[in-house]
Chain A
Amino acid sequence: MKRLISMELNKAIKNRWFAIALAIGCALACASAFVSISAFFSYGFDTLDSTRYYQLSTSGSICAWIGVGRLDSTFLPWLFFGIAPLLVTLPYTWSLRSELVSGYINQPISRASRANYIVSKYIAVFCSAGIAIAAPLVLNYLIVSCFIPSYIPDPGEGLSVPIDEYCLFSQLFFTYPPAYFTVIVLFDFVLCGAWATVVLSLSFFLDNRIGLLVIPFLFQYFLRYANQIFLPELFGEAFRNQFNLISMLWPVPSGDVPNLLLSCLLAAIGLTASLVLCTTAIRRDLP
């Protein structure tokens, strides 16, 4: 089992699709960091004279981070989180479909148990998707932290505070920002990993690799549409933008306030359902 997991992880990390997804994510993260740093210095911060620092505490590094995006009012944070559902499935989610089509799957399942094979594939997909979202987020924070002081945001600064009491982990944001950053990155890691495994389980039903990656992405936008238009009308405003990955990954902008319990519940359901689906489907006769 260990060997199988290490082999799958090796395949997941050392393939060009993983590199492409990581490169796109990191390019957006670096561009966003550059915009935030430029915005910060345009306010007149002088690194040689620390007494001249008269900015709001919400111009600190945690607020400049792409996950909060207060200093970057361009399209970059939206683009990053908007394409994230597709970006995280790009690295390795397609592998099971490809192995089913090429017949390669007969090799590992004749040497190890089918359950072990699917579990190792599942772990590799989960990790590759998690890394594809977490690495750009970490990179962005490291870059902005190199240039922008790390101040604890003061909730008394009114409208300039990008996070309110309803946002996920807002207490951590106002007390210990590095912990907030860590928790959000881990949260996104788990959500994207869970999402990628759900897409993996669709390999048994969708025979087209492009469709396997794009149809779930479109489904997320359909969910977002339903969340904006129908759910608030049917179940009240509390349900606005609750059930879609894009809002869950980026709990800051424009009043999208996903519920922590609901997000965890959806991630757990996704992880369990995809594992059950995969282990059941792989017991069938394979082509």
Chain B
Amino acid sequence: MKFIRCIVFDLREGFASVWPLFVVVIVFQIANAASLRFLLAGFDGNTGVSLGDYVLFAYSGIREYSPEEYMRFNFPVAWAFLLLLGFYIPLAFPFRDMKSLGRSILVATGSRWIWWLSKCCWVALCSVLVTVASYGTLVGVTLLFDGDLVLQLHEYAIWASRVDLNLLLPGPWSIGFFTVSSSLVCAALCLCQLALSLLLRPTIAYLATVASLFVSIFVSSPSLPGEYLMAARSMVLIEQGARCWDGVVYALAMAAVAMTCGFVLFSRLDIADREMAE
């Protein structure tokens, strides 16, 4: 019961402060969808843009970068912005709540575990809602332009999303499983960020998340989270790409470690000392 009250409070207070950022996500996805339509406008054989095409364009990322091949580096700025925004949205509230009303709630519940679990649930839910808002916008755009509401991809959209066509698997392609695994990895990264913010403060924790994403852009390794967040490196599209199941396992393991380590840190944290520290 205490947990339910705690989570209800977090949902009410937390979303009250972050909802304008969801509007930014929606506006950005509309702009992104418009740019894909713009890019494909003069393309021969364009038979319509499906929901999957929009999703791929937003979350494609970049193929594995290899400077030895004199490959021109194109920073995947749309992908980076969406993720950077998605990691910022759940960043501030848990830390801020430690200093204000949340502190009274912590005393009232009498259990640090309940308080921590509630914050973890809020962060994971917030991250999932960012993804839902993002995909929801794309669903709206697809319906608006009479596109197919399926996650199947067209070859011209794959080309526009700069996927390595030399490694492309034979069609048909569907991005469905990737959307699930990437959402889970995003939520797990947000939980890691939450745990890290107890140790390093939120801004540095955010910087660490940004750094891990940037490194993922350049280095293709299954140990880096960005590998599971880029459709251009996923096995749904290319040979020997990152497996979605690996992404799910990676996300669950990362979330479990973050929640456990975070709780250990939080249980020893002197909250009174945190006043105005950030």
Contact = CB atoms under 8 A, between A and B. Distances in A.
B276 A102 contact: yes
A279 interface: no
Contacts of A38: none
A210 B278 contact: yes
A68 B22 CA distance: 38
Q: Which 6 A-B pairs have the closest CB atoms?
A: A75-B218, A73-B67, A210-B92, A221-B81, A225-B77, A229-B35
Nearest to A244: B77
B126 to A, nearest CB: 15
A83 B219 contact: no
A221 B96 contact: no
A246 to B, nearest CB: 9
Contact of B203 (A75, A210, A224, A253): A210
A75 B217 contact: yes
Contact of B74 (A73, A79, A87, A254): A254
B254 interface: no
A210 B211 contact: no
A218 B85 CA distance: 7
Nearest to B72: A254
Nearest to A24: B207
B73 A253 contact: yes
16 contacts: A20-B204, A75-B214, A78-B73, A82-B210, A82-B214, A83-B214, A86-B203, A209-B278, A211-B92, A214-B88, A215-B88, A218-B88, A225-B77, A230-B35, A233-B38, A254-B72
B233 to A, nearest CB: 15
A74 B73 CA distance: 11
Contacts of A90: 203
A86 B35 CA distance: 27
Interface in A153-196: none
Nearest to B95: A210
Q: Is the interface of A mostly helix, strand, loop or mixed?
A: helix
Q: Is the interface of B mostly helix, strand, loop or mixed?
A: helix
Contact of A221 (B31, B74, B84): B84
Interface string A72-115: 01110011001100110010000000100110000000000000
A86 B88 CA distance: 13
A78 B203 contact: no
Interface of B: 28, 31, 35, 38, 67, 72-75, 77-78, 80-81, 84-85, 88, 91-92, 95-96, 202-204, 206-207, 210-211, 214-215, 217-219, 276, 278
A150 interface: no
Given A209-B278, A253-B73, A254-B72, A79 B214 contact: yes
A78 B78 contact: no
A199 interface: no
A222 interface: yes
Contacts of B203: 86, 90, 210, 213-214
A222 B81 contact: yes
B80 A221 contact: yes
Contact of B214 (A73, A78, A102, A211): A78
Contacts of B219: 75
Nearest to A226: B31
Contacts of B75: 78, 82, 224, 254
A98 B215 contact: no
B218 A218 contact: no
Nearest to A253: B73
Contacts of B74: 254
A233 B276 CA distance: 46
A79 B215 contact: yes
A221 B77 contact: yes
Contacts of B210: 82-83, 86
